[in-house]
Amino acid sequence: MSNDVDKPIPVSPHKNSLQFRKSADVSLTIEALMEGNHVIIADYYSSGLLLLKELKKHLNQSLPNKSFLEQREYRAEYQKLSNRILMEVKNHSLAVKKSPAIGWLKKLYPESNQFYLTLPQIQGLNSAWQWYIKGVSIPVLRNKIHPYYGVYFPTRFDHLIVFDNWLKRYSGPKKSAMDIGIGSGVLSLQMMKYGFQKVYGTDVNTNAIIGFKEFMGDTKLSRKIELDNGNLFGKWDQKTELIVINPPWLPKSHDLNRLDEAMYYHDTLFEEFFSGAKQRLLPDGKIVLLFSNLAQLTGAAEEHPIEKELAEGGRFKLENCYKKRAKSASSKTKRNQTWRDSEEVELWELSRLE
């Protein structure tokens, strides 16, 4: 697995790139974007935002945006054109005036002094930086987490509450556990809270491993949680009494990027997980899977991968399944999504069959 941090790749501006300032002609600039030219923002950060706003206005007037297909085309066009708008990064800061301070420009590009990124990339870096420095409060944890660039972090907490209740009642041994797909580390931190002595964590996303290592620093935690950047169990072959996974909840339907891998699973993921878990689970050990009925409600999956394993796998049996109605993310996203009302998170507790 590569140990390189995942970050937006700098863009080389075309020779015939235009410069854009507040006073420039917006229609001519949009025309240039449509012809395939790069436009470099040359005065203020807000000029970039202005150009994006005007670009949206232009597309709203020129493209239909109603049906599902039209919306997809609209988004694709917006993405294509907005990614031709560039900003210069100089000495780890944006070169334009009155721009936000984005610490990732130093952390992720320590050796690059001058380069260009697209405005959408910069917006992504900026909002990720805000999350990282302000931190995210998690109801079941005492301290905030500080999600690293490009790493999944929870924004809804029902599954964490269910896991917390499970850990509260769990009376088995607490010598060691595995956290498969550790993300920002919340499940491992919960296990620490309930007295687990050692956790072996993995993630396919390099940034998750780099970020959580940085988060732990040189504290006691860093000696109790060991990390590996790898697929599923990574390099961990030892047997443990608990294996925890909060896998992606939806089947993959397109090519995945790093963050998508937190949301969508490949069709072999569950088979590989259960077969690996069988080799690593101690005789009286438990597997805990956090899941939801999201894929079934939205029609995204025909089968439930955990029910399938229980019915056909011949490896594990069901000990308990706890369900909790999921709270909506926000009233804004609730529109046209009546299935949200029946969304439930699930905690599946499995043990070995023999």
Order across the sheet with 199-203: list the strands. 225-229, 199-203, 177-180, 240-245, 281-292, 344-352, 316-325
The distance from CA 29 to its chain's CA centroid, rounded to whole angstroms, is: 34
Minimum distance from CB of 183 to ligand SAM (Å)?
3
For the CB of residue 159, give the shortest distance to ligand SAM in the complex, in Å: 7
- 264: β partners: 250
Nearer to ligand SAM, 94 or 180 (CB): 180
Identify which of residues 48 and 211 has a Cβ nearer to ligand SAM in the complex: 211
Read out DSSP for 298-314?
Answer: TT--SS-HHHHHHHHTS
Q: How far is the CB of 352 from ligand SAM (least distance, A)?
A: 22
Q: How far is the CB of 38 from ligand SAM (least distance, A)?
A: 32
C-beta of 155 vs 338, nearer to ligand SAM: 155
Q: Which residue has the CB atom at the shortest distance from ligand SAM?
A: 181
Residue type, 38: H
Smaller CB distance to ligand SAM: residue 116 or 233?
Answer: 233
Whichever of 184 and 240 has its CB closer to ligand SAM, that residue is 184
Is the CB of 158 or the CB of 261 nearer to ligand SAM? Answer: 261
Minimum distance from CB of 273 to ligand SAM (Å)?
Answer: 8
Burial letters 93-103, b for 16+ CB under 10 A, else e = ebbbeebeebe
Q: Which residues contact 291 (CB under 8 A, 6 or more apart)?
A: 247, 249, 304, 306, 345, 346, 347, 348
Task: Return the structure tokens found at 90.
Answer: 């100089």
Binding site residues, ligand SAM, CB under 6 A: 152, 154, 180-184, 186-187, 202-205, 208, 231-232, 246, 248, 261-262, 269
Minimum CB separation of residue 248 from ligand SAM in Å reads 6
Residue with tokens 């550790």: 182
> Which of helix, strand or coil describes residue 207?
helix
